[in-house]
């Protein structure tokens, strides 16, 4: 029986369904012959990068950069792709994982890419997108400890990674091992991590996601001081705001002190937030 011949339109649609960047061998396995791929490139519908990646103009900048360099998307670039919580101010440049011995990287969107040259932690299938574990290791090398911990905690939540499993990985850097030891998996958001880490560093006893009056609280300092973080994503609706205020009122009736801070306060006015919490602790409001 004759096999139906694939068309250029089918090839273009197939590449588009894969974000506009595919490996030539994958296209061949999908039934698109070399002549069809060559015709698409000659017509301007795509370009061949490093002789193996077929990339259209619609492909995202990070995928095009990875294909052009022969690397993989990693670090904060992979974090953004997988919707981990990335704090404001983190460099938006494309981060690429390059295998030792690879060639250099050219300009990406008018600027250079940030490159990480090291052997992958574990073998992975052919892809322009790196692994979660390699991205976490690169984040540990790229960012300061507190900012990196925000991303690690977010990764643990989004990827459903148990802290114990992260500690079992054979990390090749001290920074990554320290982050793995610090991850709790309890933060509902990156904002919560930004809140609790400096408080613990200051020597305060802080517990996360303790259920009080039927709902978990972001942070419980000592026994009676509740600290809540209003992240935009989780507290933006009026209905949610009403529930938050009702819960605050119930906690106060039960003898708790409740401090609630906005996203802007925690991210941009942390010294003021910390002073307020310290004053509450100095007044004994955290004790039973």
pLDDT of 176-217, one tens digit each?
Answer: 999 999 999 999 889 999 999 999 999 999 999 999 999 999
13-38 pLDDT, tens digit each: 999 999 999 999 999 999 999 999 99
* Share of residues in the chain with pLDDT > 90 (%): 82
Are residues 200 and 159 part of one domain?
no
| pLDDT bracket for residue 76 (50, 70, 90) | very high
pLDDT reported for residue 2: 42
Asked if residue 73 belongs to a domain, the reply is: yes
Are residues 159 and 67 part of one domain?
yes
Q: Which of 6-15, 107-116, 135-144, 277-286 has the lowest mean pLDDT?
A: 107-116
pLDDT reported for residue 103: 62
| pLDDT bracket for residue 260 (50, 70, 90) | very high
DSSP 129: B
Are residues 178 and 68 part of one domain?
yes
Nearest Cα to Cα of residue 192 among 256, 259, 263: 263
Are residues 112 and 153 part of one domain?
yes
Cα–Cα distance measured from residue 257 to residue 263, given in angstroms and rounded to the nearest whole number = 20
Asked if residue 56 belongs to a domain, the reply is: no
Are residues 271 and 195 part of one domain?
yes
The number of residues in the chain equals: 288
Q: How many domains does the chain have?
A: 3
Cα–Cα distance measured from residue 88 to residue 203, given in angstroms and rounded to the nearest whole number = 27
Residue-number span of the structural domain to which 210 is assigned: 190-282
Cα–Cα distance measured from residue 283 to residue 275, given in angstroms and rounded to the nearest whole number = 12
Q: Which of 137, 158, 182 is the last residue of a domain?
A: 182
Are residues 165 and 98 part of one domain?
yes
Q: Which of 155, 182, 209 is the last residue of a domain?
A: 182
Which residue's entry shows tokens 């690397």?
Answer: 71
Residues 6+ apart with CB under 8 A from 244: 228, 230, 235, 260
Are residues 168 and 247 part of one domain?
no
Looking at per-residue pLDDT, the higher value among 171 and 88 belongs to 171
Residues 6+ apart with CB under 8 A from 73: 62, 63, 65, 66, 81, 94, 95, 96, 97, 128, 129, 130
Are residues 177 and 93 part of one domain?
yes
Are residues 143 and 75 part of one domain?
yes
């Amino acid at each position: 029986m004759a096999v139906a011949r694939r068309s250029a339109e089918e090839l273009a649609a197939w590449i588009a369904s894969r974000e506009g960047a595919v490996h030539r061998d994958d296209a061949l396995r999908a039934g698109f012959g070399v002549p069809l791929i060559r015709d698409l490139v000659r017509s301007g519908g795509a370009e061949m990068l490093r002789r193996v990646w077929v990339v259209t103009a619609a492909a995202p900048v990070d995928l095009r950069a990875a294909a052009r360099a022969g690397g993989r998307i990693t670090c904060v670039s992979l974090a953004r792709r997988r919707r981990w919580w990335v704090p404001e101010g983190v460099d938006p440049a494309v981060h690429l994982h390059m295998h030792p011995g690879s060639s250099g990287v050219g300009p990406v969107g008018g600027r250079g890419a940030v490159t990480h040259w090291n052997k992958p932690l574990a073998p992975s299938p052919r892809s322009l997108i790196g692994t979660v574990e390699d991205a976490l290791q690169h984040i540990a090398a790229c960012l300061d400890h507190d900012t990196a911990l925000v991303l690690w905690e977010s990764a643990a939540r989004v990827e459903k990674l148990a802290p114990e499993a992260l500690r079992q990985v054979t990390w090749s850097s001290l920074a990554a091992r320290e982050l793995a030891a610090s991850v709790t998996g309890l933060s509902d958001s990156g904002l919560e991590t930004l809140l609790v880490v400096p408080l613990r560093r200051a020597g305060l006893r802080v517990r996360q996601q303790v259920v009080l009056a039927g709902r978990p609280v972001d942070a419980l300092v000592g026994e009676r001081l509740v600290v809540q973080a209003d992240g935009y994503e989780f507290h933006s609706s009026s209905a949610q705001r009403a529930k938050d205020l009702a819960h605050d009122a119930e906690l106060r009736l039960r003898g708790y002190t409740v401090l609630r801070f906005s996203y802007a306060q925690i991210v941009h006015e942390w010294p003021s937030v910390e002073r307020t919490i310290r004053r509450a602790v100095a007044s004994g409001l955290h004790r039973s």
